[in-house]
Structure 1
Amino acid sequence: MARSAERNAETRERILVAAERLFAERGVVSVSNRQIGEAAGQRNTAVVGYHFGTKAGLIQAIAQRHTEPLEQIRQEMVDAGSDSTDLRDWVSCLVLPLPRHLASLGSPTWYARFAAQVVTDPVLRSALGDHTRRSPSYHQMRDGLRRCLRELPEPVWSERSQLTSTLLIHACADFEGALAEGRPTIHTTWEGMAAGLVDAAVGILRAPATALTTPGTP
């Protein structure tokens, strides 16, 4: 019984690693369960469905593998700066956990590119976002940002919050791909890239709100 459970755990891990890589490199829609199973070294073509059910279930399981280390990094940063009124401190809590987590994994990594693929799918992106929305440190970080940006009208805050989150995912995905493929980059380390990203996010959030319109109008 114990050996069977161990084999099942090993199989699940191989599937998760293979799926994350294939989704990152080819896109979610383009990859079949059969291809994932083969990449994971499994002969049974139904093995992915057996362990994870739907594609959304597989995506949630991939995200779960990264949730705990990301949460730990973010929580430590939030705890250290809980009394801060400096916008840059809270933007750092938003931006730095993902690059620092990816840096800790070595190279190559696929998670940022995987996330970038998933968030473009209107159905599957909620499977990825559920883990973030359940994170206590994520909500603490957002509260800290909002306290620093009280002057922003709610529609502008919502728009810029989405913009900075999108920037984070896609900028990390591009840098991750460049590292994996050996393409030249402005920064040579995740920490350097992240510092530039913090600067950009602060600029987005602090920009004058000159384009406010009534929701639903052009």
Structure 2
Amino acid sequence: MDEIRSHLLIRYDGSTQLRDWVSCMVRPITDHVATLPTPSWYARFAAQLMTDPALRVLIIDDARDSPTMRQAADGLNRCLPDLPDQVRTDRDDMVRILVVHMCAQKERELADGMTGAGWEATTTRLVDAVVGMLLAPVTQR
């Protein structure tokens, strides 16, 4: 995923578009899971880990330690200079949950033989949703 993110960071270097930076956060995950054989369990396992408080911390810390993830987060944060810190923290959690659980849902659908949106469409829809969530009005600080 870091390799995918590295290529995206080069592509979007200097961008002021929130969508580009959200893509740097979402696409490495969806592109990775898309390369796994069906049925895969990667996203569903990650979703289970995210529900365990001790394991969740390990996953989040590991992601935060990634230089490519930090660079993508910096680019994203530059696009949202007026977002209050607590709102940013809460929305970061919402984004993480949405991305992990939607990937797990897509993985389950594929394992069950369901047709529908492929990984590319899922990626686009996730990026759309995350951009909308991050740009949503702040009504309580």
Q: TM-score range by the shorter chain?
A: over 0.9
Residue 127 of structure 1 deviates from its aligned partner by 2.7
Match of 1:177 in 2: 108
Match of 1:118 in 2: 49
Equivalent of 1:88 in 9, 12, 19? 19
Equivalent of 2:78 in 147, 151, 165? 147
Letter in 2 for 1:116: A
Letter in 1 for 2:108: G
Tell me, in whole angstroms, the C-alpha distance in 2 between the residues paired with 1:195 and 1:106: 21
Residue 131 of structure 1 deviates from its aligned partner by 2.4
Tell me, in whole angstroms, the C-alpha distance in 1 between the residues paired with 2:113 and 2:43: 16
Say yes or no: does 1:128 pair with 2:72: no
Letter in 1 for 2:98: L
Residue 106 of structure 1 deviates from its aligned partner by 2.8
Structure 1 residue runs of 4 or more that deviate by more than 4 Å after TM superposition? none
Residue 158 of structure 1 deviates from its aligned partner by 1.1
Q: TM-score, normalised by structure 2?
A: 0.95
Say yes or no: does 1:205 pair with 2:134: yes
Residue 156 of structure 1 deviates from its aligned partner by 0.9
Tell me, in whole angstroms, the C-alpha distance in 1 between the residues paired with 2:121 and 2:12: 21
| 1:141-172, Cα deviation, whole Å (9 max, x unpaired) | 11011100001111111111111111100010
Residue 184 of structure 1 deviates from its aligned partner by 4.6
Q: How many residues were matched structurally?
A: 141
Tell me, in whole angstroms, the C-alpha distance in 1 between the residues paired with 2:74 and 2:14: 12
Q: How does 1:1-218 map to 2 (within 5 A)?
A: 70-185=1-116, 187=117, 189-212=118-141
Uncovered stretches (5+) of structure 1, i.e. residues with no partner: 1-69, 213-218
Q: TM-score, normalised by structure 1?
A: 0.62
Instruction: Compare relative contact order (CA 8 Å, sep 6+) and give the higher one, 1 or 2.
Output: 2
Letter in 2 for 1:131: D
Letter in 2 for 1:190: W
Superposition CA RMSD, Å: 1.2
Secondary structure of the 1:138 match is helix
Residue 130 of structure 1 deviates from its aligned partner by 3.2
Letter in 1 for 2:130: A
Tell me, in whole angstroms, the C-alpha distance in 1 between the residues paired with 2:62 and 2:137: 32
Residue 82 of structure 1 deviates from its aligned partner by 1.6
Tell me, in whole angstroms, the C-alpha distance in 2 between the residues paired with 1:145 and 1:162: 15
Rg (Cα) greater in structure: 1
